[in-house]
Amino acid sequence: MGTRREPTARQLRLATELRRLRDAAGLSAREAANLLGVSNVQISQIEAGLSGVSEQRLRRLASNYACSDGRLIDALVVMATDRTRGWWEEYRGSLPTPFLDIAELEHHATYRRDVEFLFIPGLLQTEEYARAAFASRIPQLPADELELRVQHRMQRKVILAGARPVPYEAVIHEAALRIRVGDRAASAAQLARVLEVSDAEHITVRVVPFDLDGFGGAWSAMMLAGGAVPRLDTAVRDAPHGTAFIDSEAQLDVFRKLFRKVEAASLDPAQSRDFIHKLAKEL
């Protein structure tokens, strides 16, 4: 297998998990290489995501590491052998890499969850809202790149459609519902869109009103994507240096608990729909 110049977030996650298995076994990279019958450099490249690994070698590594979690091993094999070139690849070189990594992450997700305070979640945005949101956040964006970002965001919605859509939960603060991103017509259309999709069985939308008691502890937006096994879940946050993909079990546990805390403090789905209806009538 050739050496990669720029591993995707999914390839890096596989590499991270293999390194964690080796660390848990108490083996050095050199010892793992000797057990597998390869060079130390090959193990280093695999654990950096710079080189792929075959199913046979991955299963041998797992055996050498005394990993008995069959579901985890099978999931890692799928990650290692999947050759899918998804729709997001057409944007490679045209959009920042995190855009592609998020689309790939969602494509393989077993569930998706969002918490948003200032913007409607991307998967629920209308085209007009998305265009206005990108334009307001990055005013210097050239028109052609702006349209590429809008097009990419619209295509991400594919995970919510089809015969086997991904279960999706969104908790949206009242502020995000009230802030006019674009004009009055765009805001009205956006609220209508949220109401429309929230009627689907696999989509749950909850609202956190300004005056709801007991809300606190969440300070910024977050996204959770379910892996084939819980250990492979991923949290995504916007950070000062760019998009951060979070995969340590300790941090993931914090985000899971935080989501449930925010969810518990929000209105139930029926109350949330009524709340959004009320806001829509006020426009």
- pLDDT at res. 162: 87
Q: Give the pLDDT confidence score for residue 9 in this predicted structure.
A: 92
pLDDT of 218 reads 58
Q: How confident is the model at residue 152 (pLDDT cuts 50, 70, 90)?
A: very high
Provide CB contacts within 8 A for 119, sequence distance 6+.
125, 133, 176, 179, 181, 221
- How does strand 234-239 pair with strand 112-116? unpaired
Mean pLDDT score of the chain: 93
Place of tokens 């937006």: 221
**With pLDDT > 70 as the criterion, what percentage of the chain qualifies?**
96
Over residues 94-117, the mean pLDDT reads: 96
Indicate whether 277 pLDDT > 60.
Answer: yes
Predicted confidence (pLDDT) at residue 131 exceeds the cutoff of 60: yes
Q: What is the Cα–Cα distance from 19 to 17, expressed in whole angstroms?
A: 5
- Residue 212: the pLDDT is 77
For the domain spanning 89-282, the CATH number is 3.30.870
What's the rounded Cα separation, in Å, for the pair 191 and 129? 10
List the beta bridge partners of residue 224: 113, 235
Half-sphere exposure of 263 (CA within 13 A, CB side): 14
Q: How confident is the model over 16-29, as a mean pLDDT?
A: 97
CA pair distance 270, 283, nearest whole angstrom: 21
Predicted confidence (pLDDT) per residue in 160-196, tens digit? 998 899 999 999 999 999 999 989 999 999 999 999 9
pLDDT tens digits along 54-75? 999 999 999 999 999 999 999 9
Q: In terms of C-beta density within 10 A (0-12 exposed, 13-18 middle, 19 or more buried), how is residue 239 classed? A: exposed
Return d(Cα 245, Cα 220) in angstroms, integer: 15
Is pLDDT larger for residue 280 or for residue 238?
Answer: 280
241 vs 9, which has greater pLDDT? Answer: 9
Q: Is the predicted pLDDT of residue 102 greater than 60, yes or no?
A: yes
**CATH superfamily for domain 9-81:** lambda repressor-like DNA-binding domains (1.10.260.40)
Evaluate whether 9-81 and 89-282 have a shared fold. Answer: no
- Return the pLDDT at 118: 92
For 201-256, how does the pLDDT look when each residue is reduced to its tens digit (9 = 90+)? Answer: 999 999 999 987 766 655 678 999 999 999 999 999 986 667 899 999 999 999 99
User: What would the mean pLDDT of 92-106 be, rounded to a whole number?
Assistant: 95
Tell me how crowded residue 164 is: count the other CB atoms within 10 A of its CB. 7
φ, ψ dihedrals at 141, nearest 5°: -60, 130
Residue 130: band (very low, low, confident or very high) from pLDDT cuts 50, 70, 90: very high
pLDDT of residue 2 exceeding 60, the answer is: no
pLDDT at 64: 96
Res 200: pLDDT: 96
- Domain locations along the chain: 9-81, 89-282
Residue 106 predicted with pLDDT over 70: yes
Give the residue, 83 or 249, on which the prediction is more confident: 249
**Whole-number Å distance between alpha carbons of 264 and 91:** 38
What pLDDT is recorded for position 226? Answer: 98
Mean pLDDT throughout 126-133?
A: 97
- Alpha-carbon span 198 to 171, nearest angstrom: 12
> What pLDDT, on the 0 to 100 scale, is given for residue 151?
98
Residue 246: predicted pLDDT? 95
The three-state (H, E, C) secondary structure of the chain, written as one string = CCCCCCCCHHHHHHHHHHHHHHHHHCCCHHHHHHHHCCCHHHHHHHHCCCCCCCHHHHHHHHHHCCCCCHHHHHHHHHHHHCCCCCHHHHHECCECHHHHHHHHHHHCCCCEEEEECCCCCHHHCCHHHHHHHHHHHCCCCCHHHHHHHHHHHHHHHHHHCCCCCCCEEEEEEHHHHHCCCCCHHHHHHHHHHHHHHCCCCCEEEEEECCCCCCCCCCCCCEEEECCCCHHHCEEEEEECCEEEEECCHHHHHHHHHHHHHHHHCCCCHHHHHHHHHHHHHHC
pLDDT at 154: 98
